Amino acid sequence: MNLSPLVQSFVLHFGEMGSRWGINRTVGQIYALLYVSEDALCAEEIVEMLGISRSNVSMSLRELQTWNLVLLRHKPGDRRDFFTTPSDVWAILRTLAEERKKREIDPTLSVLRDLILVEAGDEAERHAQARMAEMHGLIEQLVTWYDDVKTLDSDRLATLLALGAKVTRLLEAKDRLTRWPRRTDEGA
């Protein structure tokens, strides 16, 4: 691996993390490398820097593309593909959330919906369905929240995060206000 120690540590850590998620070590390493590189890199550069085969790079980049995590760039008079990551970390977060939802949450919701509708044969099945319904309900709440929140621009999202739990106190405060005869703002 032909990298400065600083970048190498970062890349290796992401390799580890990659395997702890679904994505594999190489994919994680390539992503990390692209993320910290100032300029877009071509496949051959990645081969040299990470010391892995050309084909592995090709397949891993393809994988990253299916996740929408890398951008393809071209330079005039050069027919190689160059790769980068989006520079806005909030945008990256959105993409990651969206893709993970698509791969992990949506299929589960779909299975749960289907199974809850099956006619239960006995008490055990009825209980199982009740449990599935609880899980389904929880996930739906989370997804509803997510679908709502993802419409916010990054600034507002940051504001919302900064508020955190104070939101509920705020809500209760506002509740007290708006319940009063004197209306001070339009209800939301």
Partner DNA sequence: TAGTCATTTCGGAAATTTCTGAAATGACGG
Partner DNA sequence: CCGTCATTTCAGAAATTTCCGAAATGACTA
Q: Residues interacting with DNA, by CB under 7 A?
A: 19, 24-27, 42-44, 51-56, 58-62, 78-81
| Residue closer to a second copy (CB basis): 54 or 156 | 156
Stretch that binds a second copy, among 51-59, 62-70, 73-81, 137-145 (CB under 8 A): 137-145
Per DSSP, 103 falls in state: I
161 φ, ψ (degrees, to nearest 5): -65, -45
Stretch that binds a second copy, among 44-52, 55-63, 66-74, 148-156 (CB under 8 A): 148-156
Closest by CA position to 27, among listed 106, 77, 99, 90:
99
**Binding partner selected for residue 93 from DNA, a second copy, none, CB under the kind-specific 5 to 8 Å limit:** a second copy
**Binding partner selected for residue 96 from DNA, a second copy, none, CB under the kind-specific 5 to 8 Å limit:** none
109 φ, ψ (degrees, to nearest 5): -60, -40
The span from the CA of 166 to the CA of 160, in Å, is: 10
If DSSP codes are grouped into helix, strand and coil, which group holds residue 39? coil
Rule CB under 8 A: choose which of 169, 179, 181, 183 binds a second copy: 169
Q: Residue 154: which residues within 8 A CB-CB, separation 6 or more? A: 88, 90, 91
Rule CB under 8 A: which of 23-52 touch a second copy? 35-38
**C-alpha 177: how far from its chain's center?**
37
Stretch that binds a second copy, among 46-54, 55-63, 70-78, 156-164 (CB under 8 A): 156-164
| Residue 61 Cβ vs DNA, minimum distance, rounded to whole Å | 6
| Residue 147 Cβ vs a second copy, minimum distance, rounded to whole Å | 8
The span from the CA of 101 to the CA of 107, in Å, is: 9
